[in-house]
Amino acid sequence: MADTAVVTAVHRDRYELCLGTESLYARLKTAAFYNCGEIVTFPTVGDRVEVIRNVDGDSTILKVLERKSVFMRLNTTQGLPDQAVAANFDYVFITMSLNKDFHMTKLERYLAAARQSGGTPVILLTKADLMKDREGILAQVRALGADVEIHCVSSHTGEGFCGLEKYFAKGKTIVLLGSSGVGKSSFVNVVLGVDRMQTSGIREADSQGRHTTTFKQMFSIPNRIALPDGSIITGGGWIIDTPGMRKLLMGEGTDGIEVTFEDIERLVLQCRFSDCRHQTEPGCAVRQALEDGTLDERHWKTYLSLQREEAYSRKRKQVIMRKMEKSGRKR
């Protein structure tokens, strides 16, 4: 009889699972995932899976259960479906440091993907102790939308962690997303109260951390979190750390783009022609906004880039499906 377990870590072709209070390792059932004649969902951290428990060795994963949320990135291997980074989370902590790593274009990309995932995005600006004058950066971030909460934190001093208590709750899961060296692992160490994630400190040359996370992991958050300044906050729930990604690519779906770039979407509706390409057409509201400075050129280019990536992902999926059909497979 199969049990239901949660995937807490992925090690290439081997998975670490949580089954009640027990931790066990498992591998995929070959017939169910590779020789089944259809495209299947492969497990990622946070997934609920059906598993046949084996007390004498690795257990066997039969299938992945339906997800309530998932964060995807484009698979760079030709002919393969998009890759799931994490699943079944409630909050997406978009993590970016307040030092030289801060980049608005990158933040917009993460925000669009987070909104598309099904989770609630939260912007987490780390290394607050290194940036005393942060109002300029905060003004830029607040312009991304009033619906997104912003928190400045320091894993060194404990600043800002009290404001995160509302996200730590039983039955809730947080996923951390961000580039290498922004402080995700240091943040996890503070939340867990132990140095579970190895970190390499700060490079003096550029005030950046050196990323050490190499695979996706999920941890249980203790009920009480002791901060570096000695104070205690309420914990609970789960947290997922992911390896830093050099470039986040958009998968299929446009909801995240439409919400993140709502200002541009409104302008598009004001164009004289419904099929306006926003180049030389008369009555183009987008071109007019770019010329008078009400629409930022960088913001517009990011929007176009994400639109192209989403279209590529959609076309790529169609090609994969046609290949599957030609080979006699069914979805």
Q: Are both 226 and 119 inside the same structural domain? A: yes
Q: Are both 175 and 123 inside the same structural domain? A: yes
Q: Are both 90 and 185 inside the same structural domain? A: yes
**Is residue 153 scored above 70 in pLDDT?**
yes
Q: Are both 147 and 13 inside the same structural domain? A: no
Report the CATH number at residue 282: 1.10.40.50
Is 198 part of any domain? yes
Q: What is the pTM of this model?
A: 0.82
93 strand-pairing partners: 122, 176
* Complete DSSP assignment for 138-191: HHHHHTT-TTSEEEE--TTT-TTGGGGGGG--TT-EEEEE--TTSSHHHHHHHH
Give burial (CB, 10 Å; 0-12/13-18/19+) of 257.
Answer: buried
The one-character DSSP state at 130 is G
Q: Are both 224 and 283 inside the same structural domain? A: no
- Helical (H) or strand (E) element with 220: strand 217-220
pLDDT score of 198: 54
Q: Which of 188, 216, 241 is the last residue of a domain?
A: 241
Into how many domains does the chain fold? 3
Indicate the pLDDT class of residue 131, thresholds 50, 70 and 90.
Answer: confident
Q: Are both 268 and 215 inside the same structural domain? A: no
For range 151-164, the mean pLDDT: 95
Q: Are both 261 and 294 inside the same structural domain? A: yes
Is 71 part of any domain? no
Is 74 part of any domain? no
Is 171 part of any domain? yes
Is 287 part of any domain? yes
**Residue 172 belongs to what domain range?**
86-241
Residues 44 and 59: their CA atoms lie apart, in Å, by 16
Q: Are both 56 and 187 inside the same structural domain? A: no
pLDDT score of 13: 86
Is 80 part of any domain? no
Place of tokens 């132990």: 194
Is 249 part of any domain? no
pLDDT score of 324: 62
For range 76-89, the mean pLDDT: 78
pLDDT score of 267: 93
Indicate the pLDDT class of residue 210, thresholds 50, 70 and 90.
Answer: very low
Q: Are both 106 and 188 inside the same structural domain? A: yes
Q: Are both 147 and 216 inside the same structural domain? A: yes
For range 129-146, the mean pLDDT: 83
Residues 84 and 87: their CA atoms lie apart, in Å, by 7
pLDDT score of 115: 87
Report the CATH number at residue 29: 2.40.50.140
Q: Are both 50 and 141 inside the same structural domain? A: no
**Is residue 45 scored above 70 in pLDDT?**
yes
Indicate the pLDDT class of residue 227, thresholds 50, 70 and 90.
Answer: very high
Residues 155 and 112: their CA atoms lie apart, in Å, by 26
The one-character DSSP state at 91 is E
Share of the chain above pLDDT 70, in %: 83
Indicate the pLDDT class of residue 206, thresholds 50, 70 and 90.
Answer: very low
Indicate the pLDDT class of residue 103, thresholds 50, 70 and 90.
Answer: confident
| Least confident among 23-27, 131-135, 232-236, 320-324 | 320-324
pLDDT score of 248: 54
Residue 87 near residue 72 (C-beta atoms within 8 A): no
Q: Which of 207, 241, 275 is the last residue of a domain?
A: 241
Report the CATH number at residue 96: 3.40.50.300
Q: Are both 52 and 97 inside the same structural domain? A: no
Q: What is the mean pLDDT of the chain?
A: 84
